[in-house]
């Protein structure tokens, strides 16, 4: 996957998710902390360098905080110096949903969990090889599963 692939997916639609999880707003509020809810369900963001996984490099798999779908592997996590956990690629092409985001006068590509529509962060074309991608993810939108194979 590269930046051109990301742009095509954002314009033409993301791949079919492996499954779907849908809950009411009240169910999400009962399951998530207020910060997790604000970020994942209301498209919020953390302050730079404030997230629990910003400087963490423990082995494991990062799953969606809302539906526990595996999203990123710790082996593709890198220090982007952006203030948010950064990854070069998802564990599978169909677990991420890509949407054009023109909020705040910026043109960006928003990334969401393709299973439950949780806002995760954004993807940028300034990452390291081999993909050249930087998935910039809010710590509050993911959970580290250290028992998963890395």
Q: Give pTM, 2 decimals.
A: 0.94
**pLDDT score at 102:** 79
Beta bridge partners of residue 123, listed in sequence order: 109, 135
Question: For the chain, which domains are there?
Answer: 3-145 (2.170.150.20)
The catalytically annotated residue of 54, 67, 116, 136 is: 136
Q: Confirm whether 67 is a catalytic residue.
A: no
* pLDDT (0 to 100) of residue 149: 60
Could you list the mean pLDDT of each consecutive 10-residue stretch along the chain, which spans 150 residues? 95 95 97 98 95 93 98 96 96 96 82 98 96 98 84
C-beta neighbour count of 48 within 10 angstroms:
10
């Amino acid at each position: 996957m590269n930046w051109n692939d990301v742009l095509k997916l954002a314009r033409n639609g993301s791949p079919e998710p492996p499954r779907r999880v849908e809950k009411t707003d009240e169910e999400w509020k009962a399951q998530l902390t207020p910060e997790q809810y604000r970020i994942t369900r209301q498209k919020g963001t953390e302050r730079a360098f404030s997230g629990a996984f910003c400087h963490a490099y423990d082995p494991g798999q990062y799953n969606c905080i809302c539906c526990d779908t595996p999203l990123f592997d710790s082996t593709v996590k890198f220090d982007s110096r952006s203030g948010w956990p950064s990854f070069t690629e998802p564990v599978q092409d169909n677990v991420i949903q890509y949407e054009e985001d023109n909020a705040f006068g910026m043109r960006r590509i928003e990334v969401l969990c393709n299973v439950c529509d949780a806002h995760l962060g954004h993807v940028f074309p300034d990452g390291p090889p081999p993909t050249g991608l930087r998935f910039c993810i809010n710590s509050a939108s993911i959970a580290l599963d250290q028992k998963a194979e890395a």
